[in-house]
Amino acid sequence: MPSYTIALLDGDGIGPEIMAEAVKILRLAESRSDLQLELTHGAFGAGAWFSHGDAFPRETRDLCDRADAILKGPIGLDHEQTGKIPVDMRPERGALLPLRRRFDTFANFRPVRLAGGLTHFSPLKPEVIAGGIDIMMIRELVGGLYFGAKESGRNAAGKRYVKESLDYDEEQIGRIARVAFETARGRKKILHNIHKSNVLKSSVLWNEVLGEVGREFPEVEVRHILVDAAATYLCLNPRQFDVMVMENMFGDILSDQAGGILGSLGLMPSACLGPEKAYYEPSHGSAPDIAGKNVANPYSMIGSVAMLLEMSLGLKDEAGHVWKAMRSVFDRGYATPDLAGPGSDSQTISTRSFGDLVAEHYAAAPAAAD
């Protein structure tokens, strides 16, 4: 029986409670498949800084090194707590970026999906999203402004200044472009390339390299769109997009906007793939204001489990069943409080109940051997 080690990094705020629901689904996947999962929790994030003096402690790094895949919850505490941590040790700079760098997880997949029956969760008009939304945003995750050289100080005129550089080389662009073309080839064969080449030289090189890689994929049509225009069209006509590829910072911003058009960042799971290892995480923050209240939406965390099952364990059918189970819960009229807007007909349920209902539907799905 194949055995896999999964590192579970609960993170901060709502992290532990949504992770608990994700673990239910992982355990179910294990019992339904011919495999064994060793699930080990590791400290990570602001809490880890307070307990270990390091937001990404050595034990957790070792655990991640040993693991076949990593499932990570959101990180970060409120402004006051965060203020107690030295700037460079805060969970984003002290844990998340080092995690991305350690495993070179350059390919960040952020599915932006709202099934036809769930369009009422979106703030967009029904006619704009009739039939639902189904976009795969692909964000380069280990380059650009996030990882470029930074300096700050006082300039010759005595003024405080800061300088951050947006670095990419052709290899970094080429590998994410290839991932994007491969993904587009497996879907509708249309790739939207998001850039800002009217201003940024980095986008000029990006487009050049993307064009070169594109020659290997003649069946994929590339549509170039400026990042600011893409932001507009995501609202006006999101259904024109299928696969979108972009550099790190553009992806950070447009993927949050995508959460907005779905109705909640709670509907945004993600996969971060490197050459050897992948980690999976919700795209949203740790929502410390609602932590421990059993109201957070575990969809992104469970969706991240579905992506892990498919992309790291090769269990595509099981992943499909998990997605379907989550849809069924919504189809039955249930929603978590973040989704049920004022005047909504949805019956709001807790984090735990949502997880239990998803598990119930998933358990009822036909098993592989059936």
Tokens, residue 16? 């532990």
C-beta of 282: minimal distance to ligand IPM in Å?
Answer: 9
- Told to check if 140 binds Mg ion by CB under 5 A, we report no
x/- map, 243-262, ligand IPM, by CB under 6 A = ---------x----------
* Residue from the set 33, 283, 286, 300 that interacts with ligand IPM by CB under 6 A: 283
Best CA proximity match to 102, nearest among 45, 142, 67: 142
Alpha helices (H) along the chain: 15-32, 46-52, 58-66, 79-83, 91, 97-102, 170-185, 201-214, 227-236, 248-262, 299-311, 316-331, 351-363
Best CA proximity match to 284, nearest among 273, 261, 260, 300: 300
Q: Reply yes or no on whether 150 is catalytic.
A: no
Cα separation of 153 and 159, whole Å? 8
- Told to check if 96 binds ligand IPM by CB under 6 A, we report yes
Cα separation of 323 and 310, whole Å? 11
Name which of 264 and 283 has its Cβ closer to ligand IPM: 283
Name which of 45 and 355 has its Cβ closer to Mg ion: 45
Name which of 121 and 146 has its Cβ closer to Mg ion: 146
C-beta of 286: minimal distance to ligand IPM in Å?
Answer: 9
Give the active site residue among 72, 252, 299, 338. 252
C-beta of 278: minimal distance to ligand IPM in Å?
Answer: 14
- Told to check if 252 binds Mg ion by CB under 5 A, we report yes
C-beta of 284: minimal distance to ligand IPM in Å?
Answer: 8
Q: Reply yes or no on whether 256 is catalytic.
A: yes
Site residue total, ligand IPM (CB under 6 A): 4
Helix (H) or strand (E) holding 114: strand 107-114
Tokens, residue 251? 């992806």
Look at residue 60 and give the partner it binds from ligand IPM, Mg ion, none, a contact being a CB closer than 5 to 8 Å depending on partner kind: none
Look at residue 78 and give the partner it binds from Mg ion, ligand IPM, none, a contact being a CB closer than 5 to 8 Å depending on partner kind: none
The region of 33-41, 219-227, 244-252, 292-300 touching Mg ion under the rule CB under 5 A is: 244-252
C-beta of 146: minimal distance to ligand IPM in Å?
Answer: 7
Distances (CA, A) of 129 to 114, 188, 190, 241, 333: 9, 18, 19, 12, 19
- Told to check if 281 binds Mg ion by CB under 5 A, we report no
Give the active site residue among 24, 72, 196, 277. 196
Look at residue 96 and give the partner it binds from Mg ion, ligand IPM, none, a contact being a CB closer than 5 to 8 Å depending on partner kind: ligand IPM
Chain centroid to CA 39: how far?
21
Residue 122 per-residue DSSP state: S
Q: Reply yes or no on whether 196 is catalytic.
A: yes
What does residue 323 show for φ and ψ, rounded to 5 degrees?
Answer: -60, -45
Cβ pair 280, 305 in contact under 8 A = yes
C-beta of 256: minimal distance to Mg ion in Å?
Answer: 5
Name which of 252 and 318 has its Cβ closer to Mg ion: 252
- 85 Rama sector, left if φ>0, alpha if ψ -120 to 50, beta otherwise: beta
- Told to check if 78 binds ligand IPM by CB under 6 A, we report no
- Told to check if 140 binds ligand IPM by CB under 6 A, we report no
Place of tokens 């003649």: 218
Residue sitting closest to Mg ion (CB): 252
> What is the full DSSP assignment across 147-161?
TS-EEEEE-TTS-EE
Q: Reply yes or no on whether 299 is catalytic.
A: no
Residues 6+ apart with CB under 8 A from 341: 263
Give the active site residue among 12, 72, 146, 362. 146
Question: What single letter denotes the amino acid at residue 5?
Answer: T
Catalytic residue positions? 146, 196, 228, 252, 256
Positions touching Mg ion (CB under 5 A) are 252
Positions touching ligand IPM (CB under 6 A) are 92, 96, 252, 283
